[in-house]
Amino acid sequence: DSGVTQTPKHLITATGQRVTLRCSPRSGDLSVYWYQQSLDQGLQFLIQYYNGEERAKGNILERFSAQQFPDLHSELNLSSLELGDSALYFCASSHNVLHQGVAQYFGPGTRLTVL
Amino acid sequence: GQNIDQPTEMTATEGAIVQINCTYQTSGFNGLFWYQQHAGEAPTFLSYNVLDGLEEKGRFSSFLSRSKGYSYLLLKELQMKDSASYLCAVEGNTPLVFGKGTRLSVIA
């Protein structure tokens, strides 16, 4: 158990809908990262937050947005869902903000299925 | 651009040694990580290299050559539970960039 929690574990929804994925980082970690993992693309970095502020952006679609709250939990919002958005979504956390060789610890993931 | 290459699949025998290679080209370099991921589960941290050379951690070792853009993960005394995907990830000017992973099957 990494100490990172994610809810829900599974989510099934229809095209065009909007969903929210939730993540709580390990105690003491200030950075939260979101990743998308699909079979053909591997693990893709979406976005990073540190202590409530956006720090880095990866291949995140405009239909997707995220935020980190004062209690450090984070939410990833996915809207106008398409079939291709079906994937595993992981949240990870680390203590540092900068890219300084600190390991990221991953939550169990949310499996999103868009029908 | 950023590119990380690993073999897609490997098979090895229980009790043997296996080496999983990773080559990378990234913008900046702050270190290379190896993660293990069992099917449908979260990646778990295995090792970190930032200087050239070998880092040993029990049955697992990881090697880095920065000049060659090359790393490998060495797994000794393979066990059936080592069947998993092994992800190479590089930290550069952006947070981690992951390779697509190497699926290792350990057979009896």
Reported as a single tens digit per residue, the pLDDT across B12-68 is: 999 999 999 999 998 888 899 999 999 989 999 999 999 999 999 899 999 999 999
On chain A, the residues whose CB falls within 8 A of the CB of B31 are 101
Q: Partners of B60 in the beta sheet?
A: B57, B75
Q: How far apart are CA A112 and CA A109, in angstroms?
A: 9
Q: Give the Cβ contact number of residue B15 at 10 Å.
A: 11
Distance (Å) of CA B17 to CA A37, A86, B78: 29, 36, 6
**Mean of per-residue pLDDT scores for chain A:** 93
- The residue-averaged pLDDT of A84-97 equals 90
Q: Partners of A49 in the beta sheet?
A: A32, A54
Say what the pLDDT of residue A97 is: 62
Question: A38 Cβ partners below 8 Å, 6+ apart?
Answer: A44, A86, A87, A88
What residue type is assigned to position A105 of the chain?
A: Y
Q: What percent of chain B has pLDDT over 90?
A: 84
Q: Sign of dihedral through CA atoms A32, A47, A11, B87?
A: negative
**Mean of per-residue pLDDT scores for chain B:** 94
pLDDT above 60 (res A99) = no
The string of pLDDT tens digits covering residues A47-87 is 999 999 999 999 899 999 999 999 999 999 999 999 999 99
Q: What percent of chain A has pLDDT over 90?
A: 83
Instruction: Give the strand pairing for B9-13 and B18-25.
Output: unpaired
Nearest to A100 by CA among B48, B27, B61: B48
Say what the pLDDT of residue A41 is: 77
Beta strands per DSSP E along chain A: 5-7, 10-13, 19-24, 31-38, 42-50, 53-57, 64-68, 74-78, 87-94, 105-106, 110-114
On chain B, the residues whose CB falls within 8 A of the CB of A111 are 40
Distance from CA of A17 to the nearest CA of B (A): 24
Q: How far apart are CA A67 and CA A82, in angstroms?
A: 22
The string of pLDDT tens digits covering residues B20-31 is 999 999 888 889
Facing B96 at nearest CB: one of A41, A104, A107: A104
Q: How far apart are CA A110 and CA A24, in angstroms?
A: 13
Give B73: exposed, middle or buried? Use CB within 10 Å, 0-12, 13-18, 19+: buried
A-chain residue closest to B93, CA distance: A99
Q: How far apart are CA A3 and CA A94, in angstroms?
A: 11
Phi, psi of B77 (to 5 degrees): 45, 55
B-chain residue closest to A6, CA distance: B42
Interface test with B, best of A1, A40, A43 (most B CBs within 10 A): A43
Interface test with A, best of B47, B98, B102, B103 (most A CBs within 10 A): B98
